[in-house]
Structure 1
Amino acid sequence: MQPAASIPANRQYKYYDLITGAFVAVLLTANLIGPAKICTLWGFTFGAGILFFPLSYLFGDILTEVYGYARARRVVWTGFAALAFASLMSVVVLRLPPAPGYAGQEALESVFSLTPRIVLASLAAFWAGEFTNSFALAKMKLATGGRHLWSRAIGSTAVGAGVDSLIFYPVAFLGVWATRDVLVVMGTNYVLKVLWEVIALPMTYRVVAALKRAEHEDWFDSDTDFTPFSLQAG
């Protein structure tokens, strides 16, 4: 395997684009379907988005671990642009006047009507949380010399999901939901996001190992510029 410094930034990979597409699909599903619904199951109160959103951190971990922070950064910006576009289009579509006799407007509004607060909260929380997650994993990989994947997978998710939750729920729902509900859902969803990462560890190990073999890549961000404000792949 070549050392990371000798690998060109424009190198082509077999599965990078597929993982990018899966990441964006999970992100849009989590933010357009799940964020505004509170559920109670087996005594736990949580936001429905928890069913999907932790997968975005799993993809973020895999991307950073195999391809490095810079390529993960491109995927985060791709997801951010897709989420912003989907949010804008939901507003445009809902504001278009329905045809006479069309009976679906109210149903569409009940499902896809996102308030500016939720859009702002989703975009800000996703951006900050994903970059924090990727940065933490890349730095922990350097600190551990590439050993103990479990520690950086869980640790980076704990940090990134914490930033995400601390931004999203207060910005989106404080003053709309009861303060207690905001705190309960924020705390419960944070714990569940980290728990998802723990449960997914066997899968993370298998996917990371398979990708490293297939791509002949195991990136170490020893010379990486960690600014989030770039689309450079190297």
Structure 2
Amino acid sequence: MLTTFYLIANIMAVKVISIGGIALFDAGTVTFPFAYMLGDALTEIWGFKTARKVIFLTFLSNIILVVATSIGLILPAPEYMAETTAAYACIFTYVPRIVAASLLAFLGGELSNAWVMVKIKEKTGRRHLWLRTIGSSAVGYIFDTVLFVIIAFAGTAPASDLLTMIVAQYFMKLALEAIGGTPLAYGLIYWLRKHVETEEANNG
């Protein structure tokens, strides 16, 4: 699911949302915090080493996305599908740059998010899950947002818009994490702990 949400966010990132004529954030910002939420649950239950493996698997999945969609660009299409072909090219010609930005941002953001979450857990144990999810995301989103916006949109948007996008995306992601991601993380982690502990008891 983490990989799925991340791939969706990359494709949605092609569309930039503008309010009042100012480019604020890409549409992928809406789904991206849920990928972080799943990463938090993964780290909480199985630790940093397992989370790191999934992070690199997601990295590989994104590379496959770029290769596959790029192959689709060069394959021939019938003339009566010209409009659809042009739409496909419009979206997926842009995706490689988005994904390149997202890959670097993802590695920096997710790895720092998982590492900080583990460090906070060492201090708090199982208590204060909200502090771990929000605190780790607050750090991870700095790496993720700054790297993503600059690499993905530098040269295509004014510098003032880039700064606006960084600030807006950071706080939008953090707000979605706090309002939606953290409550879902509580439920998912509770379910996973119960499931894992039951499985371990049965195997033991």
On whether the aligned pair clears a TM of 0.5, the verdict is yes
**Structure 1 residues 107 and 129, CA, compared in 2 at 3 Å: closer, same or farther?**
same
Residue of structure 2 in register with 1:52 after alignment? 31
Identity %: 35
Task: Give the alignment of 1:1-234 within 5 angstroms.
Answer: 22-32=1-11, 34-40=12-18, 45-103=24-82, 104-114=84-94, 116-200=96-180, 201-216=182-197
- Letter matched to residue 164 of structure 2: V
Deviates more, 1:113-122 or 1:142-151: 113-122
- The residue matched to 2:81 in structure 1 has which SS? coil
Structure 2: unaligned runs, 5 residues or longer: 199-204
For residues 72-114 of structure 1, the C-alpha deviation after alignment (integer angstroms, 9 at most, x for no partner) is 1111111111111001111111122323443221011122222
Count of residue correspondences? 195
Higher helix share: 2
Deviates more, 1:158-167 or 1:202-211: 202-211
- Letter matched to residue 62 of structure 2: L
**Structure 1 residues 55 and 38, CA, compared in 2 at 3 Å: closer, same or farther?**
same
Aligned residues: CA RMSD: 1.9
TM score, norm. by length of structure 2 = 0.88
TM score, norm. by length of structure 1 = 0.78
Moved over 6 A (4+): none
Asked whether the equivalents of residues 91 and 114 of structure 1 are also in contact (C-alpha less than 8 Å), the reply is no
- Letter matched to residue 18 of structure 2: T
Structure 1: unaligned runs, 5 residues or longer: 1-21, 218-234
Asked whether the equivalents of residues 87 and 114 of structure 1 are also in contact (C-alpha less than 8 Å), the reply is no
